[in-house]
Amino acid sequence: MPLTVKGPQKRSTRALRTLLIGLLPVLLGMIILYLQAERALLQSSQQTAEEAIRQFDLMLDNSDIAARVLLPLVGEPCDETRQLALRDQVTRRPFVRSTNLVWRNDNYCSSLLGRFSAALDPRDYVDGRLWLMNGNPITPDTALLIYRLSQGERSALATIDGYHLTNALRLISRYADLKLQVGNSWLSADGKVHGLPVPSAPVAHQELDSARYPYRVSAGFPEGDVWLYMKAQYPPLFSLLLFFGILSGFAGHWWQKRSSSPSHELQRALGAAEFIPYFQPVVRGDTEQWAGLEVLMRWKHPKEGLVRPDLFIPFAEHSGLIVPMTRSLMQQTAQLLAPNASSFSDNFHIGINITASHCHDLQLLDDCRDFLAQFPAGKVVLVLELTERELVEPTAMTHKLFEELHKLGVMIAIDDFGTGHSSLAYLRQFNVDYLKIDQSFVAMIGIDALSRHILDSVIELSAKLDLGIVAEGVETLEQRDYLAGKGVDFLQGYLFGRPMAGDEFLTELARH
Ligand code: C2E
Ligand code: CA
Ligand code: CA
């Protein structure tokens, strides 16, 4: 139906909207999964950092034990016995690679070199305790972590091999990027010692200080790891999201179709009371006195203005809405006309168009009863017009309906007569009261001999069957004269009056 309040919705707009509705749950789901993945990675780097602290503390604990054992030896000569004691700690303590004795900042005895002399600067040590070095003359370019335990002028050193440190950095987390920072130096998992600043990881960066030794570790993940994590962990959830996306896309498509469907639009218009009655006078063939009217539906559309019935009645019939629409039309007609019934001639005919959908049950009977009850008894005759192009099946229900309608005094007219195939038997079966000759035959008066011949036969037939006859579409004096001459009971057409709104019709009626 070309008529919608919103205007016709383009196919591409609808498709785009369907796409967006389908994408919405997928996007929302992806955002939630992304945040969830970020949280999982943050937790993972927190755990990694904690584990690293445990490992490095353990290494330093071993260094501390070695240094504690050696500290009482400081100041004694670096002889065979002391050197043995130094080497003993190296072999006994895991992770410890070498040990030294330092007296008054003179590093004078080593497990590796025996007696020697090198100056020690306590400022190299963070808190005087830890120094992360990038190798020494014996093993250049190999990280070393020196632990210093001092007491007055004495200090003992225990050195942890960089190999253990980098190994720990690599093994504790297979995926996270882990770094060990001691003062102004930091060690990466590739075994290299760097100066400040420590670069922070782009994803889930975490830093943790040891509670017992002056160092910290930082953990995090490289750029893009959230997506990698999602790809590894969430494939079943992706499928679920896709499923919901498709589902909501379908739902959106259905909803749009529904809200722009003709029946939805008609339903809206019915609720908004946009269907109103127009009235066209029906006059007597002999005197041209206004003897009745036909109620014609109009749609007072908020955008399109007044819409002709043939543009929407077929949709109303198809959707079954024609029944409540006709009911509303009858109620409005009674409300408008009943207060003015005194100005009607007696037996004023009021024609209402009905369709086959009205004949499926007996509801129409109540509608007609309610309609007639609003007029003074015997003042009006209700005529139901049923088009010949879609006549109803003769079933038990339709027989009962038509019988009851007749008992109520309601009359039946076959509309557009001559355009369909109703048989004589049919006319008798339904006890029809009027035939309305289709306007196409009237239009041919004086033009086409065959049509005039059909017209004459219909008029004769109706006389034989004792049926009233109404000629529609009378527009010229010639047509009027011809029909009146043939004794046609009632005439309807622009010559006598166009379909009019209620007030206008009543004013015109008063003039006649
Ligand atoms: P219809 O029942 O045959 O109604 C007569 C149609 O002819 C009306 O058109 C009327 O305006 C038009 N008409 C009357 N006199 C003349 C004339 O002298 N010349 C010409 N050219 N036309 C004339 P309308 O109002 O547009 O209605 C068209 C059709 O829509 C109706 O044909 C009827 O089948 C249907 N319709 C109208 N109202 C209703 C309704 O309330 N219910 C149902 N079911 N159908 C309706
Ligand atoms: Ca009609
Ligand atoms: Ca007609």
pLDDT digits (tens, 9 = 90+) for 6-57: 555 567 888 888 899 899 989 999 999 999 999 999 999 999 999 999 999 9
pLDDT at residue number 303: 84
pLDDT of residue 424: 75
Share of the chain above pLDDT 70, in %: 98
Q: Identify residue 305 by its one-letter amino acid code.
A: G
Average pLDDT over residues 246-266: 85
**Tokens 């000759």 belong to residue:** 437
For the CA of 387, the nearest atom of ligand 1: 34
Residue 464's pLDDT is 87
Ligand nearest to the CA of 436: 3
Rounded Cα distance, 325 and 313, in Å: 10
* Residue 352 DSSP class: E
The answer, yes or no, to whether residue 301 has pLDDT greater than 80, is yes
Class of 262-433+498-511 per CATH?
alpha beta
pLDDT at 5: 47
147-167 pLDDT tens trace? 999 999 999 999 999 899 999
255 band by pLDDT with thresholds 50, 70 and 90: confident
**Mean of pLDDT over the chain:** 91
Query: Is the bond preceding 8 in cis, omega lying within 30 degrees of 0?
Result: no
Question: Is residue 412 predicted with pLDDT exceeding 50?
Answer: yes
| pLDDT at residue 3 in the model | 56
Ligand 1 interacting residues, C-beta cut-off 6 A: 280, 296-297, 308-310, 313, 322, 326, 329, 353, 355, 385, 387, 415-416, 439, 472-475, 492-494, 499
Question: Ligand 3 centre and the CA of 353: distance in Å?
Answer: 9
- Those residues whose beta carbon sits under 5 angstroms from the ion ligand 2 are 353, 385, 415
- Mapping DSSP to helix (H, G, I), strand (E, B) and coil, where does residue 25 land? helix
d(CA 113, CA 110): 5
What would the pLDDT profile of 306-340 be if each residue is shown by its tens digit? 999 999 999 898 888 999 999 999 999 999 999 99
Contact by Cβ (8 Å): 471, 488: yes
Phi first, then psi: what are they for 234, rounded to 5°?
-110, 15
What percent of the chain is predicted at pLDDT more than 90?
Answer: 68
